[in-house]
Amino acid sequence: MSIITQIRNKAGLMVAIIGLAILSFLLMDVFSGNGIFGGPPSNTVGEIDGDEIGLMSFETRINEAVENYKINSQQDQVDDQTLGMLRENVWNELIREKILGTSYKQLGLAVSAEELFDMVQGTNINPSVRQAFSNPQTGEFDRAQVVQFLRNLSEQPEDVQRRWFNFEKYIKSERENQKYNNLVNKGLYVPKFFASSYNKDNTLQANGRFILMDYALIGDSTIEASEKELKAYYNNHKKDYESKDEIRAVDYLVFDVLASEEDDARALKQMTELREQFIASADDSLFVALNSDLPFDDNFVAASALVSEVQKQLFAGITTGVSDVYREGDFYKMTKMIIRTARPDSVKARHILVRINEGEAPEVAKARADSLFALAKNGGDFAALAKANSADPGSAEKGGDLGFFAEGMMVKPFNDAAFGGKKGDMVVVQSEFGFHIINITDQKGRKEVAKFATIANKIEPSTDTYRDVYAKAGKFLSATKDADAFEKNIEEQGLVKRSAEVIRVNDRSVAGMEGSREMVRWAFRSEKGAVSSVFEIGNTYIVASLVTVSPKGIKAFEDVKEDVEAKVKREKKAEQLLARAEKAIAKGGSNLDAIARAAESMVQPFANATFQSNFLNGIGREPVLSGVIFALEAGKMSQALKGERGVYIVAVDGFSGYDQKADLTASKQTISNQLASRAASEAFNAKKELIKLEDNRHLFY
Strands (E), 117-238: 205-214
Query: Are 45 and 54 in contact, with CB atoms under 8 Å apart?
Result: yes
Q: What is the pLDDT of residues 131-159, one digit of tens each?
A: 888 776 667 888 888 888 888 888 888 87
Phi, psi of 498 (to 5 degrees): -115, 160
Lowest mean pLDDT among 75-79, 205-209, 499-503: 75-79
Tell how strand 326-328 and strand 331-343 pair up.
antiparallel
Q: Confirm whether 245-258+462-551 and 346-445 share one CATH topology.
A: yes
Residue 550 is predicted with a pLDDT of: 87
Is 0.75 surpassed by the pTM of this model? no
The CA distances from residue 7 to 54, 271, 536, 596, in Å, are 40, 18, 17, 72
Q: What is the pLDDT of residues 314-344, one digit of tens each?
A: 999 988 889 999 999 999 999 999 999 999 9
CATH number of 205-240+559-656: 3.10.50
| In the chain, domain spans | 1-39, 113-186, 205-240+559-656, 245-258+462-551, 261-343, 346-445
The confidence band for 169, taking pLDDT boundaries of 50, 70 and 90, is confident
Residue 42 is predicted with a pLDDT of: 66
3-state secondary structure of 653: strand
Residue 566 is predicted with a pLDDT of: 95
Could you tell me which residues come within 8 angstroms of residue 203 by beta carbon, excluding any fewer than 6 positions away?
Answer: 610, 657, 658, 659, 662
Q: How far apart are CA 650 and CA 647, in angstroms?
A: 10
Residue 22 is predicted with a pLDDT of: 47
CATH number of 245-258+462-551: 3.10.50
Q: How far apart are the first and last CA of the chain?
A: 34
Residue 556 is predicted with a pLDDT of: 87
Q: What is the pLDDT of residues 582-597, one digit of tens each?
A: 999 999 999 999 999 9
Q: How far apart are CA 553 and CA 557, in angstroms?
A: 12
Q: How far apart are CA 470 and CA 378, in angstroms?
A: 72
Q: How far apart are CA 84 and CA 62, in angstroms?
A: 10
Query: Are 450 and 301 in contact, with CB atoms under 8 Å apart?
Result: yes
Q: What is the pLDDT of residues 611-641, one digit of tens each?
A: 988 788 778 888 899 899 999 999 999 999 9
pLDDT for residue 18 is more than 70: no
Q: How far apart are CA 360 and CA 398, in angstroms?
A: 28
Query: If we measure between CA atoms, which residue out of 629, 621, 669, 672 comes closest to residue 649?
Result: 629
CATH number of 346-445: 3.10.50.40
Percentage of residues in the chain with pLDDT exceeding 70? Answer: 93
Residue 677 DSSP code:
H
